[in-house]
Amino acid sequence: MLQVAQLIENYRKDIEAYEAANAQEAEAFRIKYLGSKGIVKAMMGEMKNVENDQKRYFGVVLNEFKKLAEEKYESLKNGLSNVSETSTANMDWSLPGDTLPVGTRHPLSIVRNRIVSIFKQLAFAVAEGPEIEDDWHNFTSLNLPEFHPARDMQDTFYVHKNPDWLLRTHTSSVQARVLEKGKLPVRIICPGRVYRNETISARAHCFFHQVEGLYVDEQVSFADLKQTLYFFVQEMFGKDVTIRFRPSYFPFTEPSAEMDISCTVCGGSGCSLCKHTGWVEILGCGMVHPSMLENFKIDPNKYSGFAFGMGIERICQLKYRINDLRLYSQNDIRFLRQFTSAL
Ligand SMILES: [Zn+2]
């Protein structure tokens, strides 16, 4: 009994003097004293050799010894965690840092931001509007009255009937909202998401993105329209790009045109992208129809304007050669990561 008491006293001194410089040394302490084959357990095993009248006293000594070992282990662990937070003495500053994964801007956002910044240089302000529209702003005020055949080109998602509310089919509805405020001149671009009831394929989707532009002031001419769009494509695709206009029809412009640019892949000599014509279509445009100005109580004899509209997906396709519209909304990281360094 005396022998065991002496042994415990020695271990007590050892425990009190023990220091751990790292987690391994603290763990070594735990195994030595508190492990399943540790000293505390071995001392407990000595209980059976103790005479009966000493058992009570020895039990108290053993419990205190166990408590001491446990408390020491806790303080070793706590001491280590404090050290690791505050001490930089052992830090290797030459190691490469842990990089934070940085997200990627979506290609459509990259192109939209680029378009906005180009038109900002020409003092076009960004205008936005609701994605759920009423019939007047989406159709009727834009010379698309009910039963107008051009409505059929935009098979539409209605969310309410009588009064008719629908997911906007173009961002022209934003132009209508700006014009009805009656503040002239107007020089805006309207980027946004639009919806049409299309079968989803590589070339069509039930939602896509447009940027439309509108400039209404005194003496705005077709020459202004041409020069504005020429400036845009040169900024977007480079100085070598040329443009051409083809007559077209839109209910809200007269005259109307489709604008093509020289093919950015073959430079005009003919390839599969331009279907061997040397030209690719990028937007529709025209002079604002006088009756549309009248819809918004603007005098067409005093004011004139031009408007244009393009699909952001289309510009993105030409810029980054993306040949499937579905890629934009599949959230495939392998696709999105390719734009990490795109500007
Ligand atoms: Zn080509």
Instruction: Please give the distance, rounded to the nearest whole angstrom, from the Cα atom of residue 204 to the centre of ligand 1.
Output: 21
Instruction: Please give the distance, rounded to the nearest whole angstrom, from the Cα atom of residue 182 to the centre of ligand 1.
Output: 44
CB-based contact 287:306 (threshold 8 Å):
yes
Instruction: Please give the distance, rounded to the nearest whole angstrom, from the Cα atom of residue 242 to the centre of ligand 1.
Output: 13
Instruction: Please give the distance, rounded to the nearest whole angstrom, from the Cα atom of residue 280 to the centre of ligand 1.
Output: 8
The per-residue b/e assignment along 103-112, b for 16 or more CB within 10 angstroms, e otherwise, is ebebbbebbb
In this prediction, residue 5 carries a pLDDT of 78
pLDDT per residue as tens digits for the range 119-178 = 999 999 999 999 999 988 998 888 887 777 767 667 788 888 888 899 999 999 999 999
Instruction: Please give the distance, rounded to the nearest whole angstrom, from the Cα atom of residue 262 to the centre of ligand 1.
Output: 8
Instruction: Please give the distance, rounded to the nearest whole angstrom, from the Cα atom of residue 44 to the centre of ligand 1.
Output: 88
Residue for token digits 């020069």?
A: 227
In this prediction, residue 83 carries a pLDDT of 56
CB-based contact 279:263 (threshold 8 Å):
yes
Rounded CA gap, 287 and 254, in Å?
A: 5
**Ranges in the chain, pLDDT < 70:** 1-2, 81-88, 150, 152-153, 342-343
Task: Give strand ranges (E) for the chain.
Answer: 125-126, 132-134, 158-160, 165-167, 186-195, 207-218, 243-250, 253-262, 279-288, 303-311
Instruction: Please give the distance, rounded to the nearest whole angstrom, from the Cα atom of residue 281 to the centre of ligand 1.
Output: 11
CB-based contact 263:278 (threshold 8 Å):
yes
Q: Residue 27's closest CA among 85, 68, 76, 84?
A: 76
C-alpha distances (whole Å) from 211 to each of 127, 135, 171, 188 are 10, 20, 7, 10
In this prediction, residue 125 carries a pLDDT of 96
Instruction: Please give the distance, rounded to the nearest whole angstrom, from the Cα atom of residue 108 to the centre of ligand 1.
Output: 23
Residue-level length of the chain: 343
Instruction: Please give the distance, rounded to the nearest whole angstrom, from the Cα atom of residue 323 to the centre of ligand 1.
Output: 14
Instruction: Please give the distance, rounded to the nearest whole angstrom, from the Cα atom of residue 235 to the centre of ligand 1.
Output: 19
Rounded CA gap, 310 and 210, in Å?
A: 6
In this prediction, residue 81 carries a pLDDT of 67
Instruction: Please give the distance, rounded to the nearest whole angstrom, from the Cα atom of residue 109 to the centre of ligand 1.
Output: 26
In this prediction, residue 87 carries a pLDDT of 61
Q: Which residues pair with 327 in a beta bridge?
A: none
In this prediction, residue 49 carries a pLDDT of 81
Instruction: Please give the distance, rounded to the nearest whole angstrom, from the Cα atom of residue 253 to the centre of ligand 1.
Output: 29
* Predicted TM-score (pTM) of this structure: 0.69
Instruction: Please give the distance, rounded to the nearest whole angstrom, from the Cα atom of residue 272 to the centre of ligand 1.
Output: 6
Instruction: Please give the distance, rounded to the nearest whole angstrom, from the Cα atom of residue 318 to the centre of ligand 1.
Output: 11
Instruction: Please give the distance, rounded to the nearest whole angstrom, from the Cα atom of residue 341 to the centre of ligand 1.
Output: 26
Q: Residue 27's closest CA among 17, 16, 38?
A: 38
Instruction: Please give the distance, rounded to the nearest whole angstrom, from the Cα atom of residue 266 to the centre of ligand 1.
Output: 4
C-alpha distances (whole Å) from 50 to each of 4, 38, 44, 55, 59 are 10, 20, 11, 6, 10
In this prediction, residue 20 carries a pLDDT of 83
Residue for token digits 């303080």?
A: 75
Tokens standing for residue 46: 């000595």
Instruction: Please give the distance, rounded to the nearest whole angstrom, from the Cα atom of residue 265 to the centre of ligand 1.
Output: 5
Residue for token digits 């935009």?
A: 154
